[in-house]
Structure 1
Amino acid sequence: MKRSRALHCILGGLFTAVSLTLPGAMQAAQAQATPSPIRFIVPLGPGSGGDLLVRYVADRLGKISGRPTFVENRPGGDQVVAVQSLLSSPPDGSSLMLISSAAVVINPLLTKNMSFAAEQDIRPLVSAVTVTAAYVVAADSPFKRMEDVFSALRREPKSVSLGTYSLNWEAGVALLEDMTKVRFNFIPYKGVAQMTVDVIGGTLGVGVMDVGSALPLVRSGKARVLAVSGSAAHPDLPTVPPMRDSGAANYEYLPWLGFGINAKTPEPLAQAIEAQLTKIVMEPDFQAFASRTGAFSVSRNTGGKLLALVAADRERIGKLVRDGTFTTR
């Protein structure tokens, strides 16, 4: 009788332990079976070329890695909002950010006393593309050539409004002002959508956007492109001259876009993600995507080559800041 009661107690305790631990074990197994998602942070609003790039890469990385991915648009504060979101996330490879010189060069040059040091806190992984800017006006704009815009500004400085949604494009405008010695009435935008409305409606004199965003406006007859920022005509706009042939000799501005991660991420993990992203950028399908959008030229750089791009941008744009041509507006 005593042994029977003892055995009953033992079995009862065992079943109790199993019943208590089984849900936890099942949850742990489910957690292992369902990989954590990868978040892609975009420092721009939806609809821009950069946003399209991120959505393509996020989809491909999800298929390659077997992990779910999602895109989070975090515009504002000249990319400070997006950078803070990246750096406040665990450095475990679960958060990536679309980066360019805007985040790692331009903002640190323009903004003092930031709560982070982007050039040290963000670890660049890969540059994927370079982007061509289009200088866009309404279809019925009185400006037929970029030279007409420059002439108006020389007669009356700041008489022509110009807007953009990107710190990269703003730097390109500052370079243009420095080379031509003109000054626009600059209007900042949070995203390409509202700027497009204002360009088409004629309330904004000139809008600067990536070529991919400009093409639908041109094809629909709602807008015209006066010049592009590359050294030659863009393949999708063969009759539009480059800026260097439009009154700004030797002008060329083609910012790069790529991906970065929290610099505290363990290096082996960062290298593994870098390898996956590089594989995507090297795929023929990525080249086809870049050509299809009209916004990008593929530019594959990692490691030392990417750091050299960053250093060159720091020198070029730093000179504009030191000279007072490019300041916070």
Structure 2
Amino acid sequence: MGLLVDGQWHDTWYDTESTGGAFKRSAAQFRNWITPGGDAGPSGDAGFAAASGRYHLYVSQACPWAHRTLIFRELKGLGEHISVSVVHPDMMDQGWTFETNGHGATGDTLYGFSHASQIYTKADPHYSGRVTVPILWDKERETIVSNESSEIIRMFNSAFDDITGNAEDFWPEPMRDAIEEVNARIYSTLNNGVYKCGFATSQEAYDAAVLPLFETLDWLEERLSSRRYLMGDRVTEADWRLFTTLIRFDPVYHLHFKCNRKRLTDYPNLWAYTRELYQWPGVARTVNMEHIVRHYHYSHDSINPHRIIPINPQLDYWEPHRRDQRTAA
């Protein structure tokens, strides 16, 4: 995970020395919004109107942030309207690449670039920052709309409704404040918390991250004992933001990131809930477990220097979940 400085690539890992061993995530820099008529969104510039075939999504199937966008593309019927390129799972000294030797990688189907960094420098030749996925690209203006997953899924949630006829709303206005409160805790302690554990380079930083992580898992297990989904009887974006971490927990985070007080399968409600979301129409095909396991264990040489891919538990995500027998609060 290197970065660009004034458009030039540098193979530089996150600086944890200056933070006492703690991992600090960089903020996304491209924050434009697709809107139905092209008006400006909450941030960025105007001019990105919803249109079939205009936008392209660059993702890694390993990345939980990119995975969110693939799920919303499925849930909202955007498959025929937004094209996709999938990077190779091995993220080495040149960052994400468009190699095509298996693992679900497609290559860059727009420009034939070899590296994801070239997408950033095409948008801005002097870009400085991390080269992350997802990248939402505008084919018409040939620039990046957004590389912030939490905002991309909200665009997908509503901006294309008039085109698709799919008006299902995972960000309902009356529930937004409550959803934001749940999102905030899950993001800080769990979505990003697993990375704080895995990329910690001091015992103190690890301890500060791992205890809140399992406190949140315990809280979620209790919350899901009395309701079917996080917000009650209705699936919202909060569920899908949580799902992409849960689906990776036992295969990757438990072992590789030292999040090993418990496994996901040790939480009956969370494990059944994860299976239900996996079995949701269209969602299973967004999960590439080979890509997920390969990426984390092969790419992070500071954690797994010999790049040994573990055998991993055999988990049946198609096992009946029986969450439909639960009375939601």
Note whether the superposition's TM-score is higher than 0.5. Answer: no
Task: Report the TM-score when normalising by structure 1.
Answer: 0.32
User: Which has more radius of gyration?
Assistant: 1
Structure (1 or 2) with the greater helix fraction: 1
Structure (1 or 2) with the greater strand fraction: 1
